[in-house]
Amino acid sequence: MTPFTYTTPESIDEAVDKKASDTRAKFIAGGTNILDLMKVNVERPDQLIDIKDLPENTITENEEGGLRLGALVTNADTAYNNLVEQRYPLLSMAILAGASAQLRNMATDGGNLMQRTRCYYFYDVATPCNKREPGSGCSAIHGFNRIHAILGASDKCIATHPSDMCVALAALDATVNVTGKAGQRSIPFGEFHRLPGETPHVDNTLQPDEIITSIDLPAKGFPTHYYYLKLRDRKSYAFALVSVAAALEVEGDIIKEARIALGGVAHKPWRNTEAEALLQGKQAVRENFKQAADIIVAGAAGYKYNSFKIELAKRAIVRALEEAFAHSIA
Amino acid sequence: MDSIFKSKPKISTGQEPVAAEAVFSPVNLKVNGNSYSVQLAPWTSLLDALREYLNLTGTKKGCDHGQCGACTVLVNGKRINSCLTLAVRHQKDEITTIEGLANGDELHPLQQAFIDHDAFQCGYCTPGQICSAAGLINEGKAKTQADLKDLMSGNICRCGAYTNILNAIEEVYKVEP
């Protein structure tokens, strides 16, 4: 690990000031990803700004009748929070599908959004990687790309976003609240993470001086028909090859509203509102789910080792929607 | 011990070496009810602090990347990977390691159960497995055997003693089949 100084601001404003005045500084909250990346020299901050003890660590009801998750609440405390379990069980299910109990006890909700890809070439400083070192090339496109993207990739980067929690947050239409030198702003979840394009080293739309303070969940939580399906090489403690967060609002067997978000397939949690709109007013049956799945994967492109993900994603979407419809907690 | 305190921090790559006196600062840790004050660099992990500076070598270093669980300790009763956190961040916390679980000569029920069920072969993962199981019991979220397996999946046993490990935990913490 490269040496760094360690600072402990006492307020969000002080944390923002420290970050704004040092371009090589990084925030540390749970630390489970940044310290890992520092050990392999992918991240080499000259200052770690420890925000762990700042007050953004509670879950409260927000003005819109939803919930506000403090950025520093741990993933475990979020997943097991009574209000989250009752009103947003999809979120609990997704969080508990990720990492291990030990990691979830440290990792925070804000940090979950900020985690970097687990592309092996990004982690290996001996190989070119446009995300780690802009302009150096992408080792994955012609390398071993089993875990890589099939949607929204570019010729500069085919990495995926590794989060499970974020897939549920995308499906639930969450909002990310941030504070920077210019003040506060709110970012719709779908606009927080970005596609790689020509600048894959930029994971998201957060500015260098900005910090996530909380995540808002809207009132609608789809607590009765939901499912998070995670497919991976082993049953527990592995990243998704494909995951699907599915949420339905139904009347009898007619779909009033559908939400579908995919993980493990793109540089950001993947949503397709056209497919969701197609299901509106339709019967909750396999044929219709298949049509929605076809729309979602229509533009998918595989590489040498990950083409299997296209068919896998289609089937996973259908199965997740069927499970969501059947998975009724009345 | 003295020679350990005087040793310089390991700096892996890159930049100019940093003078030891510039980076060491006193860090206060409370481990197994005992208070310690040691001079540490900010990049010393909690795991390295326990092993290299406090001589509490029961906690093991496996992967050093949060993937194997061998370094699991309890911080304020919650299980975490001590390799993925910095010692300097835990000065207000109560840390419990495998050395702190027994009550004098009386083994912790999990320790006894691991012996009774022969829940290890080489034993390297065992301190982490036991601390993780203690954290699991504190959490109280495992209701079934499937939950138990899933919630213990952050601890890897390369000898493959999983069946006996799960039996040992079930001896102490009852779940539905």
pLDDT band, very low/low/confident/very high, at A290 (cuts 50, 70, 90): very high
Do B146 and B90 fall into the same domain?
no
For residue B23, give the amino acid letter.
Answer: V
Say if residue B48 is in the same domain as residue B117: no
The whole-number pLDDT of residue B18 equals 56
Measured CA to CA in angstroms, residue B115 lies from B31, B123, B165 at distances of 25, 11, 10
Does residue A324 have a pLDDT over 50?
A: yes
Residue A97 reports pLDDT greater than 90: yes
Q: What is the residue-averaged pLDDT of chain B?
A: 92
Count how many residues are written for chain B.
177
Domain that holds residue B86: 2-64+82-100
Instruction: Please tell me the least confidently modeled range out of A10-24, B16-30, B102-116.
Output: B16-30
**Cα–Cα distance, B19 to B23 (Å, whole number):** 7
* Residue B90 tokens, joined: 């835990």
Residue B11 pLDDT greater than 80, yes or no: no
Q: What is the pLDDT of residues A224-237, one digit of tens each?
A: 999 999 999 998 89
- Residues of chain A contacting B80 with CB distance shorter than 8 Å: 102, 105-106
State the Cα–Cα distance between residues A292 and A269, nearest whole angstrom. Answer: 17
B30 and B94 inside one domain: yes
Q: Do B81 and A103 touch (CB under 8 A)?
A: yes
Arithmetic mean of pLDDT, A1-10: 95
Question: Is B75 part of a structural domain of the chain?
Answer: no
Closest partner residue to A50 among B14, B66, B89, by Cβ?
B89
From chain A, pick out residues whose CB is under 8 angstroms from the CB of B72: 102
Say what percent of chain A tops pLDDT 90: 98
- % of chain A surpassing 70 pLDDT: 99
Q: What does each C-alpha distance from A84 to A80, A81, B1, B147 come to in angstroms?
A: 7, 5, 48, 19
Q: Look at strands A47-50 and A25-28 and give their pairing.
A: parallel
Give me the count of residues in chain A.
Answer: 330
pLDDT score for B173: 98
CATH number, span A5-52: 3.30.43.10
Tell me the average pLDDT across A51-72: 97
- The stretch B18-33 carries a mean pLDDT of 84
Rounded distance between C-alpha atoms, residue A238 and residue A245, angstroms = 17
Q: Are residues B31 and B54 both part of a single domain? A: yes
Q: How confident is the model at residue B23 (pLDDT cuts 50, 70, 90)?
A: confident
B136 reaches A (C-beta below 8 A): yes
Nearest neighbour of B84 by CB, restricted to A32, A80, A101? A32
Q: Per the CB < 8 Å rule, is B154 touching A103? A: yes
Closest partner residue to B79 among A36, A80, A101, by Cβ? A101
Lowest mean pLDDT among A201-215, A280-294, B1-15: B1-15
Q: Which CATH class is domain A226-326?
A: alpha beta
Contact (Cβ atoms closer than 8 angstroms) between residue B126 and residue B120 = yes
Q: Are B52 and B120 in the same domain? A: no
Residue A7 above 70 pLDDT?
Answer: yes
pLDDT at A317: 98
User: Strand B72-75's sheet: what is its strand order?
Assistant: B34-40, B25-31, B94-96, B72-75, B78-81
